[in-house]
Amino acid sequence: MKMFKRFLATALCSAVVVSGFSHIQKVDAGPPSHSNAKVDNVIYMIPDGYSASYATNYRIYKGEDPVLDSMLVGMMKTNSADNWVTDSAAAGTAMATGVKTNNGMVSVTPDGEPLETILQAAGDAGKSTGLVATSTITHATPAVFGSHVESRGSEADIALQLANEIDVLLGGGKANFLPKSEGGNQEERHLIDEAIENGYQFVETREELLALNGQADKVLGLFATGAMAPELDRDVTEEPSLAEMTKAAIDTLSKEKDGFFLMVEGSQIDWAGHAHDAAWAMKDTEAFEEAVKEALEFAKNDRKTLVVVAGDHDTGGMSVGGYDEYLAKADILHDVTATGNYMASELHADRSNAKDVLSTYANIELTAEEEERIQTAPANQVAFVINTIISERAYVGWSSTAHTGVDVPLYAHGPSSDLFNGLLDNTDLPQRMAEAMKIDFAQ
């Protein structure tokens, strides 16, 4: 309990919060292993917002079976303590602690009591620990594994609890680690300097991360002031991909003889769903699959690593086909080379170049009706209208801009993967990971 007690002490001393609602090789995962061999390492991978409809559309988009197909072992229920439709904080809390809480709350009970997480239990058992995300590293899903606050919006407070406690932190959110005097969100503390003083290697570009080559013992990588870029827009940044961050984390953590626990989140699949940006959703799913390949490559060589993959909920109510047609054309999304947000930013003030922008970035020749929809949309809805037009062309349907409560696919590979067979609740996952690792974990 040592690691959890340190977190608890930090949480109790923190400010009061408001409660509220590449080079990657092709890897064939093969069938999930039912071996009872010892599990030294767990790689827990969460494609945020990902459900069966995303999986099917991605299969169409890719043109062949994705690597996750061969790892399918079951389905998972996602409801929170106070709602059949969960948010990421409550879903993540269940997936990290084995206890359901209310929407908006991060690894605390509905009454606000801190809950030990599976990452903290692994740390207490002597394992190295890591978090990787393309959001801010203090966003809801990574936050639930190493912090305890009543409101997911308390990202500066979350940073205080993550800093210097977890061996590898890779993602966005640099502002949450800097003092306000340097444009950050901390009152006074400079968490990056503190991390360096405590033996962390600090990196903030792809080049710096790759140069580590697994030599550092602890790594803090913050690659953007806020969230990292969508995969569609990554080529105009100096940021690493999710796969590159995953490999770097594994290279660092795997030096621990007692094993490691790593959580990897494909954060922006969810954001794409909220925006109804089908191309962004598919491209970030592709980036997530590349990260899964890195995990599987390590696991197949190591033979003591359990890989578990599950989305925390569905986002957007995506469908395969729609618009009163018997069609599905997600494969045409390969022609889309920018997010709807980026395309909207390329429009002139009068949006007179809408045809050129959609032709350039989406390979779409707009009809007169589609052009008018873009030109007459309210300013804050232009990107959404672009995304809707592209979704219509691909026959990717949507029922909501929020989350839905459908069950999500559950995937596993490696020793003890049979523990995840069938229809499980999201609270079952950390308990079964603890069983696989043979570590103490009971709330």
Identify whether the C-beta of residue 54 lies closer than 8 Å to the C-beta of residue 269. Answer: yes
pTM: 0.93
Between 7 and 228, residue with greater pLDDT: 228
Q: Across residues 30-56, what is the average pLDDT?
A: 88
Report the pLDDT value the prediction gives residue 12, as an integer from 0 to 100: 45
Report the pLDDT value the prediction gives residue 141, as an integer from 0 to 100: 98
C-alpha closest to that of 44 among 418, 408, 306, 422:
306
139 carries a ligand binding annotation: yes
Residue 380: Cβ-neighbour burial (10 angstroms; 0-12, 13-18, 19+): exposed
**Token pair of 393, please?**
């062309």
Give CA angle at 272 (271, 277), nearest 5°: 150
CATH numbers and ranges of domains, the chain: 2-14+33-318+401-437 (3.40.720.10), 329-394 (no CATH)
335 carries a ligand binding annotation: no
312 carries a ligand binding annotation: yes
Between 412 and 6, residue with greater pLDDT: 412
**Token pair of 154, please?**
């308390």
C-alpha closest to that of 247 among 207, 214, 224, 287:
214
- CA–CA separation, 86 and 196 (whole Å): 37
Alpha-helical segments (H) within 75-176: 88-97, 118-124, 140-143, 155-162
428 carries a ligand binding annotation: no
- Share of residues in the chain with pLDDT > 70 (%): 92
Residue 44 has pLDDT above 60, yes or no: yes
Identify whether the C-beta of residue 66 lies closer than 8 Å to the C-beta of residue 289. Answer: yes
- CA–CA separation, 28 and 227 (whole Å): 31
Residue 440: Cβ-neighbour burial (10 angstroms; 0-12, 13-18, 19+): exposed
88 is catalytic: yes
For residue 443, name the pLDDT band (cuts at 50, 70, 90).
confident
Beta bridge partners of 262: 43, 130
Of 33, 51, 53, 88, catalytic: 88
Identify whether the C-beta of residue 33 lies closer than 8 Å to the C-beta of residue 117. Answer: no
pLDDT, tens digit, 9 for 90 and up, residues 363-397 = 999 999 999 999 999 999 999 999 999 999 999 99
pLDDT, tens digit, 9 for 90 and up, residues 5-33 = 555 544 444 433 333 333 334 456 666 66
Residue 281 has pLDDT above 60, yes or no: yes
pLDDT, tens digit, 9 for 90 and up, residues 87-107 = 999 999 999 999 999 999 999
Beta bridge partners of 412: 308
